[in-house]
Amino acid sequence: MPEIFEKTKCLIIGSGPAGYTAAIYAARADMKPVLYQGIQPGGQLTITTEIENFPGYPNGISGIEMMEDLKKQAERFGADIRWGSVVKVDFSKRPFVIHTDDNKIIHADSVIIATGASAKWLGIPSENKFSGYGVSACAVCDGFFYKGKVVAVVGGGDTAAEEATYLSKLCKKVYLVHRRDELRASKAMQNKVLNTANIEVIWNNLPQEIVGTEEEFTKAVTGIILKNTKTGKESKLDIDGVFIAIGHNPNSELFVGQIELHDNGYIKTEPGSTKTSVEGVFAAGDIQDYYYRQAITAAGSGCMAAIEAERLLSSEK
């Protein structure tokens, strides 16, 4: 199949709140943006059953519905939103050269990267089965649904300690399940966890299975099966929800050697900006944000990226 060449003022790689918001702003600025949605159109929010902390939705909304709304809004202003993924980039000179999985080579005057980050999971089958029905990777996003309930957080680093501390303000009881006999979190975070009355650390245990009701309209987590890493003994913990907090992986493999990354793999941007180490390449959303990781902050940075891209191109005319 012959390669197809295209030219665009602005190419957006990835969707989700950052990518779609960038597309809305870029389209309204008459940049005629092209957006490739990637392997998970809409990003991580599409596996979130209910979003209640995004402004403008007083009754909440499902992640899938919200992302579809943002997509339609971008298309309304003329954004060209496509299925498929970018497979190769060359940021060595402008226009940038982008290869896609549908055999296109796109020359782009500017690029906005919004590929996000993916939560690390335990890898047990029941984890996927109850995703959105008692299994979550974001306490700030979903903690409210467990107000007054009993939950478990799995992990031992700063992320797990932060999630447990946040949930302790909402939940009746929080179990922090860790596979070792000491936490990897910073001393300050460890002190918070160990001195919070309704947080109980379960040492030397690994989740084996998440259990619950599986009927279509009443699917819910009721417990977790743990295995002691020293004795091999299994036990069941009765809980209402599980928060997996073993970290995130930035989806930045495509950009290794092309732009500057942090040691943890996230894209480096100038403080207070979405500008990367390459002029004309911008990064928005979770791909450059390992602190907030919220839909609203991702959308905000998508707006910033589009404005910065438009201003750069305008200044070069």
Tell me, what's the pLDDT at 154? 97
Total structural domains in the chain?
Answer: 2
Domain that holds residue 284: 4-118+248-316
Q: Do 145 and 129 touch, CB atoms closer than 8 A? A: no
The catalytically annotated residue of 109, 142, 286, 289 is 142
| Number of helical (H) and strand (E) elements in the chain, helices listed first | 7, 17
Please check whether residues 211 and 307 belong to one and the same domain: no
The catalytically annotated residue of 10, 138, 171, 303 is 138
Please check whether residues 174 and 235 belong to one and the same domain: yes
Q: Do 108 and 8 touch, CB atoms closer than 8 A? A: yes
Pairing of strands 234-238, 150-154: unpaired
Alpha-carbon gap, residue 84 to 100, rounded angstroms: 7
Please check whether residues 55 and 112 belong to one and the same domain: yes
Please check whether residues 310 and 213 belong to one and the same domain: no
Q: pTM for this structure?
A: 0.79
Please check whether residues 85 and 159 belong to one and the same domain: no
Residue where one domain finishes, among candidates 212, 228, 244: 244
The catalytically annotated residue of 10, 141, 171, 303 is 141
Q: Do 23 and 32 touch, CB atoms closer than 8 A? A: no
Please check whether residues 234 and 300 belong to one and the same domain: no
Q: Do 59 and 151 touch, CB atoms closer than 8 A? A: no
Please check whether residues 136 and 234 belong to one and the same domain: yes
**Has 138 been annotated as catalytic?**
yes
Tell me, what's the pLDDT at 62? 86
Domain with residue 255: its CATH number is 3.50.50.60
Please check whether residues 44 and 108 belong to one and the same domain: yes
Residue where one domain finishes, among candidates 221, 244, 267: 244
From the list 212, 227, 155, 207, the residue with the least C-alpha distance to 185 is: 155
Please check whether residues 182 and 92 belong to one and the same domain: no
Please check whether residues 107 and 37 belong to one and the same domain: yes
Residue where one domain finishes, among candidates 244, 268, 292: 244
Tens digits of pLDDT across the chain (317 residues): 567 899 999 999 999 999 999 999 999 999 999 999 988 777 777 766 678 889 998 998 988 899 999 999 999 999 999 999 999 999 999 999 999 999 999 999 999 999 999 888 899 989 989 988 999 988 988 999 999 999 999 999 988 998 999 999 999 999 999 999 999 988 988 999 999 999 999 999 999 999 999 887 789 999 999 999 999 999 999 999 999 999 889 999 999 999 999 999 999 999 999 999 999 999 999 999 988 888 999 999 999 999 999 999 999 97
Query: What are the distances in angstroms from CA 304 to CA 31, 45, 193, 298?
Result: 15, 20, 36, 10
Please check whether residues 225 and 275 belong to one and the same domain: no
